[in-house]
Amino acid sequence: MDDPILDCLIVGGGPAGLTAAIYLARFHLDILVVDGGKSRAASIPCTRNHAGYPEGIEGKELLRRMREQACKYGAKIETEFVTKLEHDAKDGLFTATWGSGCAVAQTVLLATGVSNRRPPMDEELHDDALARGLVRYCPICDGYEVTDKRVGVIGSDSHGVAEALFIRSYTADVTLIAPDKAMRLGGGDHEKLRQAGIECVDGPAHAVAITGNCIVVDTAEGHYTFDSIYPALGSDTHVQLAEMVGADLSKEDCIKVDSHQRTSVPGLYAAGDVVIGLDQISHAMGEGGVAATTIRNDLGERRPLWREPAHDAEEVEAGA
Ligand SMILES: Cc1cc2nc3c(=O)[nH]c(=O)nc-3n(C[C@H](O)[C@H](O)[C@H](O)COP(=O)(O)OP(=O)(O)OC[C@H]3O[C@@H](n4cnc5c(N)ncnc54)[C@H](O)[C@@H]3O)c2cc1C
């Protein structure tokens, strides 16, 4: 492995990782982004709450622009999935491994995000419904779009109840459906739902078809037709690499960081949905910017980050 040691390896090329890449590349640091290509942002048909885009922007296009911006300043991006991360406590270096290669880095930023748990439904139907706004995952993001529409929420625990109550401020027509069996609700939840006029339906729930601009859900109480459904089944946080190097996790299974995005492992940082907080593009970008600036300043404590005088730099480039 003769490649030079990177200043920073960024794992994850969603809004958090790419924002950090833009900052770090513009700090004249040697960085690499390794991205598995499954950003949640890529599944957004059109985000309308991201500031600066009054007409909205497709998630894939936003990511494309961010990648272009990072590469313009020298960031390198590889589409790979990092399977192993090691940390040598003696020299402080990290070694990351993926299918076709590996890299050694002084610092690592984990911006690996989360995955939403999907409702039971055919994968093709799911992707089609997601693209058409018939399946939605984030009422903070797109609750506005279901204003006065018929909405089904699939979930039964406190998360499902909270989501149904949240969506009730957009529409009077909300139905909460248990995902797998009869509805099980905690004390007080029945009353909250009753007061909000939210109907409760027993599962198992299974989204079965798209008809026109609607989605049909099969339940224990028959077929229900909605303009949109929101699965509220929780998410899985991608913390495996953090665990491999012994970083502390929070009780919510997210990577613990300080206010500068440092984890409990020196030289390891985390940003975006993988850290506890608001799971939004703006937040992921903000944390990416904070992490990058902290990484730059922490590297500066280890060695001067001074730039060569311009003529010396030219000589070096010319091989003098
Ligand atoms: C349907 C939907 C609609 C949404 N709408 C909005 C919206 O309108 N507005 C808004 O603000 N937010 C929205 N969100 C939320 C937003 O997408 C996320 O908050 C945001 O993408 C988080 O950015 P991130 O960089 O932390 O993670 P992600 O964007 O999820 O990126 C993480 C990246 O890390 C990669 N990765 C993970 N593990 C590894 C590994 N071991 N090796 C290499 N790569 C790895 C993944 O493949 C992925 O590419 C929406 C989410 C969904 C699902």
Residues 115-167 have pLDDT tens digits of 999 998 999 999 999 999 999 999 999 999 999 999 999 998 889 999 999 99
User: Within 10 Å of residue 152's Cβ, how many Cβ atoms?
Assistant: 29
Average pLDDT score over residue span 277-295: 98
Average pLDDT score over residue span 74-85: 98
The reply to whether omega before 204 is within 30° of 0 (cis) is yes
pLDDT of residue 186: 82
Q: pLDDT band for position 252 (50/70/90)?
A: very high
Q: Is 272 in the pocket of ligand 1 (CB under 6 A)?
A: yes
SS3 of residue 269 by DSSP: strand
Q: pLDDT band for position 183 (50/70/90)?
A: confident
Q: pLDDT band for position 311 (50/70/90)?
A: confident
Compute the distance between CA of residue 301 and CA of residue 278 in angstroms, rounded to an integer.
31
Compute the distance between CA of residue 34 and CA of residue 80 in angstroms, rounded to an integer.
6
Compute the distance between CA of residue 250 and CA of residue 189 in angstroms, rounded to an integer.
27
Distance from the CA of 277 to the center of ligand 1, in angstroms?
A: 13
Residue 106 has pLDDT above 90, yes or no: yes
What percentage of residues in the chain have a pLDDT greater than 70? 97
Alpha helices in the chain (DSSP H): 15-26, 59-72, 123-131, 139-142, 158-167, 189-196, 240-244, 281-302, 310-317
Residue 214, strand partner residues: 211
pLDDT of residue 316: 57
> First vs last Cα of the chain: how many Å apart?
26
Q: Is 137 in the pocket of ligand 1 (CB under 6 A)?
A: yes
Query: Which residue puts its alpha carbon closest to atom 37 of ligand 1?
Result: 112
Q: Is 67 in the pocket of ligand 1 (CB under 6 A)?
A: no
Residue 320 has pLDDT above 60, yes or no: no
Q: pLDDT band for position 2 (50/70/90)?
A: low
pLDDT digits (tens, 9 = 90+) for 195-232: 999 999 999 999 999 999 999 999 999 999 999 999 99
Q: Is 142 in the pocket of ligand 1 (CB under 6 A)?
A: yes
Residue 24 has pLDDT above 80, yes or no: yes
pLDDT of residue 128: 97
pLDDT of residue 156: 82
Report which of residues 275 and 316 the model is more confident about.
Answer: 275
What percentage of residues in the chain have a pLDDT greater than 90? 91
The per-residue pLDDT of the chain, averaged, comes to 95
Q: Which of 20, 33, 17, 235 is nearest to 114 (CA)?
A: 235
Residue 187 has pLDDT above 90, yes or no: no
Do 255 and 242 meet the contact criterion of CB atoms below 8 Å apart?
yes
Average pLDDT score over residue span 36-49: 98
Query: Which residue puts its alpha carbon closest to atom 2 of ligand 1?
Result: 44
Instruction: Work out the widest C-alpha separation in the chain, in whole angstroms.
Output: 79
Against a cut of 0.85, is the pTM above it?
Answer: yes
Residue 31 has pLDDT above 50, yes or no: yes
Q: Is 241 in the pocket of ligand 1 (CB under 6 A)?
A: yes
